[in-house]
Chain A
Amino acid sequence: MGEDEVGTKKKGNKRYFQEVVDESEVKKIKHRPKIKQEFKGEIIKVEQNVQKPLKPHLKRKKGYQKYEDKRPNIPKHILDKYNRGENVEVDGIKTKYFKEKQQRKEVYLEYATEQAARTELLLTEQQGFIEADEGEVTAEYRQEEIAANVDIQSASKLFKLNLEFGPYSMRYSRNGRHLLLGGRKGHVSSFDWVTKKMHCEMNVMEEVADVSYLHVHTMFACAQKDHVYIYDNQGTELHCIKRMYRVNRMEFLPYHFLLATGNKDGYLSWLDVSIGELVGNYGTKLGEIRIMRQNPSNGVLCLGGGKGVVSMWSPKVREPLAKLLCHPTPLSALTVDHKGQHLITAGLDRKVKVWDIRSLNGPLAKYKLRLPASQVEVSQKGVLAICQGNYCELYHNLIMGENASRPYLRQHCGSFVHGMRFCPYEDILGVSTANGFQSLLVPGSGEPNYDALEDNPMQTKSQRREHEVHSLLEKIPAELITLDPNEIATVDEPTLQEKIDAKRAIFFLKPPEVQMNSRRKMKGKGGSANAARNKQIVKDQKRKEFIADVREAKKKIIEAHKVDESGEDFIPLEETKQSVLDRFKPKNLKRKA
């Protein structure tokens, strides 16, 4: 209530405080904290959370209050990145208890996804890029120009090695720190390419078809003329694997500890390097294996065949898990992207195609080149490199089908390119050619934020040993190499084909053999003839019972699959008109008609 109102209501003696005072004259005294009172300088006001009294209707209700999350919402695309799939529908669950349990589980999963997505905030490194000036395009830039515009550390990553024992094959270690080169004429060398520190260099005095690091950079395999050899980082020969004969291509599956090889006779072999056993070894009947890559998301081997077919193989299944006809001509190169979503194939028909490898669909994109691509490669961030002879082109987002017309970068490598790999966790493309090796700068190709417990480029010796032990403990058995990497976490439901087969099998069941050992009876209570007869009786009885059961089961199946001929919408396959000439048909046909 204002003062005026008081005055109007009741006219009494005026008090001193009721006098109207001009407000401008009054000095307002405000209580301030002591520090502020003495402070003479400028005050920068910081907004503070002043607690306002709650309005009566906003008073908190008693009982359970839903916790209000004051953190900012996470954008949907980030949440989707961490999402492991759709929720399970609870409608199919019969009991209330398990329904609630499942619902609770979903809540936890959602929370876990959210928490994982929030860690994105902690990722410090940014992805690389090139921004072209006005009137220029990125494809114009030469490597030297790029190197001149980046920091010294990155510029030092552009280098070239002129080597004379080529053509070379090459491989980076899993953490992208080490480089392994193998020249056809026997030159093998392993070194830390960042610091340029040599681990070993030697000439094995034999033809070298392919090289690969094993789970750590201190061991590598080398496919030589006849056998596969394993060396350590001193260059000491550790093993000679004679069962891997005349190998053409090698892939190492790090989570399974399998060294997969494809040889000149079309044989695939998987060697478990932790126990030294071949877990799979069989012929593919595809002829010489020249193109072989692994799908990093499930460990399945993809072979490119001479007929334009890509076939996928697992060590425990002697048939291909899947086959995909990609080109009408022989394949020249193939690769699978880092996430295991896309398969990129190149054929002699001068086309490059992108396939969806999970649903075996496609092509999602098709590109026509001037020359057939000799190598294709995808980086962690989806930059595609295509090599045609000694000319190398890089595309940005080619898989998505954007800006496909113009390459992102291009490079002449000087001689024919034999091997090409993106360096993991670096913006580097390694190219090995007929007479050397080049390391090219490709900004934006590598994953900037590594997970140190998975692959650590800054690994110390003790960390490497620790990691080796842990990864050995978690070695995935070879049986789990399947097209769907999450198959182990799904419900084992029989497929339609299996159900049909099971039904069919009933029609061809044989009665089981009855093993019967008659009890010893007291003397004079039987005899061998009696025993034999009893045995025969029991056997016959069992067989009859079995046959009766099977007959019953068969009847049920036939009944279930009977077509209802009496229905109105039943249309017979053939017209059954009586003809005079029917009398000359054989008897069984006549009955049918």
Chain B
Amino acid sequence: MKVKMISRNPDEYVRETKHEHHKLPRNYDPALHPMESAREYVRALNATKLERVFAKPFVGNLSGHRDGVSCFGKHPKRLSTLTSGAYDGEVRVWDLANRESIRSFVAHEGFVRGICYNVSGERFFTVGDDKNIKVWNSNAPDVGEDEEPINTILSRTMITGISHHRKESKFATCGEYCSIWDESRNDPLKNLKWGVDTLHDVAFNPVETSVLACCGSDRSIILYDQREANPLRKMVMTMKSNKLAWNPMEAFNFTVANEDCNLYTFDTRQLRNPLKIHFDHVSAVTDVDYSPTGKEFVSGSYDKTVRIYNVHQSHSRDIYHTKRMQHIVCVAWSLDNRYLFTGSDEMNIRMWKAKASEKLGVIRPRERVAFNYQEALKEKYAAHPQIKRIARHRQVPRHVLNSQKKMRAVKDKELRKEANVRNHSKPGSVPFVGEKKKAVLKEEV
């Protein structure tokens, strides 16, 4: 007779010394792991709850400005450097790692309207209400030396914004008209004009580098090509757009922050219909900035909240707010895709995590695996009502909640009114107009 029985040699299952890891033999046979889905569901639920528990997005604030913060400049090469301009003409350069201001100087009389770095990051440009374009060195002057601009260009007209070309040593300013400048010259290469209204924001396309877009105060958005003498296209919306940001990955798309509480994502080839309307703000949206991945963007609003949107979704993924934060004027998304910066009226710059529940600091491999697993579970069970409810729930300030209610009531009223009119009119005389159609009034070529 030949007999074999299970007889485990402890040497293969028990560790020899305390300094070793425990031996954990695995067997992935489904029969040994019953109730797989139910257990996964519970894990997904726990992961979602933990995400909300750990959602503490506020990293810290950068205080030092003596007036409201008006604009940001992101250094193209250094992650730990951020430049900010204020209403009193002061420019500060921040060391983000230590959260302190390393340079500060008064650059302009009146508002600083825009800051941008050149391609290499060695110099930066500031424009202000005093019609000056000033060029500064990125490195601080030696001890005892005064802060002096490398160059000062006096413009003939008012300047409200500046944007640097991605590759060449050119930059564009906007004001009464859009001007293209060369870094080495004191006169604009070109002035591009369409109509007589003021332009208040300009942005170079990061991929199709010679294309740029401007927001005009006649509710228009104008597209230019810096190589051509005339503007390309113009589109007029129902309300004024405050800021414009190009998608850095899908550079034919751009998003504008509008006065009507919404953001609109457009495809340059199809300006008549926005790709997406992003709702949820309850007051005018003042600034927008894309994440370097091009999948998300952040927007700041006059309603004192910051919202993060997925490019393809109309409702926000997250909302950030604090008790003391006032109207937000400018926002920026850091180039490592991990932090957000918001500048607000009450002189503070705030630093936030882009993912509210992300763990900062070193993440060990096993931790990383656990996080990835949790992410996968959350995605798999995202549609379950309980998980959905927990993942979506956000506490919002009372004033936001009230205005949301009010806005909803107004919206309902309009819909009801329209339905009533339709019911009492000749069939077909009151057509259904989609929400997207309403945003754009006309397109000119």
Which residues does A use to contact B, with CB under 8 Å? 81-82, 84, 116, 119, 122-133, 136, 141, 145-146, 149-151, 153-154, 255, 296-299, 338-340, 380, 425-427, 441, 443, 446-458, 460, 463, 473-477, 480, 485-489
Q: List 23 A-B contacts (CB under 8 A).
A: A119-B26, A119-B28, A124-B12, A125-B6, A128-B5, A136-B1, A146-B1, A149-B3, A150-B3, A150-B7, A297-B34, A297-B35, A299-B35, A339-B31, A451-B26, A451-B27, A451-B32, A454-B32, A474-B42, A476-B38, A476-B41, A485-B36, A485-B37
Docked Cα-Cα span, A82 to B33, in Å, equals 11
B5 contacts A449, C-beta separation under 8 Å: no
The answer to whether the Cβ of B14 comes within 8 Å of any Cβ in the partner chain is yes
The answer to whether the Cβ of B269 comes within 8 Å of any Cβ in the partner chain is no
A123 contacts B37, C-beta separation under 8 Å: no
**Chain A contacts of B26 at CB under 8 A?**
119, 122, 451-453
Docked Cα-Cα span, A475 to B39, in Å, equals 8
Nearest CB in chain A: distance from B196 CB, A: 45
A453 contacts B24, C-beta separation under 8 Å: yes
Q: Residue on A with the closest CB to B33? A: A454
Q: Given known contacts A476-B35, A485-B34, A486-B37, is B5 in contact with A452 (CB within 8 Å)?
A: no
B6 contacts A128, C-beta separation under 8 Å: yes
The answer to whether the Cβ of B46 comes within 8 Å of any Cβ in the partner chain is yes
Which residues does B use to contact A, with CB under 8 Å? 1-8, 10, 12-14, 22-43, 46, 384
Docked Cα-Cα span, A456 to B23, in Å, equals 10
B31 contacts A476, C-beta separation under 8 Å: no
Q: Given known contacts A255-B35, A446-B6, is B28 in contact with A451 (CB within 8 Å)?
A: yes
Q: Residue on B with the closest CB to A146? A: B3
**Chain A contacts of B6 at CB under 8 A?**
125, 127-128, 154, 425-427, 446, 448
Docked Cα-Cα span, A126 to B27, in Å, equals 13
Which residue of the partner chain, among B13, B14, B24, B37, contacts A488 with CB atoms under 8 Å?
B37
Q: Given known contacts A458-B10, A480-B38, A485-B38, is B27 in contact with A450 (CB within 8 Å)?
A: yes
Q: Residue on B with the closest CB to A155? A: B5
B34 contacts A130, C-beta separation under 8 Å: no
* Top-4 shortest CB links A-B: A489-B37, A452-B24, A131-B2, A154-B5
A296 contacts B25, C-beta separation under 8 Å: no
**Chain A contacts of B31 at CB under 8 A?**
338-339, 380
Docked Cα-Cα span, A447 to B39, in Å, equals 22
Nearest CB in chain A: distance from B285 CB, A: 28
Docked Cα-Cα span, A154 to B4, in Å, equals 9
Which residue of the partner chain, among A81, A84, A154, contacts B7 with CB atoms under 8 Å?
A154
**Chain B contacts of A446 at CB under 8 A?**
6
Nearest CB in chain A: distance from B11 CB, A: 11
**Chain A contacts of B34 at CB under 8 A?**
255, 296-298, 340, 485
Docked Cα-Cα span, A460 to B24, in Å, equals 12
Nearest CB in chain A: distance from B38 CB, A: 5
**Chain A contacts of B30 at CB under 8 A?**
81-82, 84
Nearest CB in chain B: distance from A2 CB, A: 61
**Chain B contacts of A116 at CB under 8 A?**
28
Q: Residue on B with the closest CB to A84? A: B30
B35 contacts A450, C-beta separation under 8 Å: no
Docked Cα-Cα span, A456 to B24, in Å, equals 8
B27 contacts A123, C-beta separation under 8 Å: yes
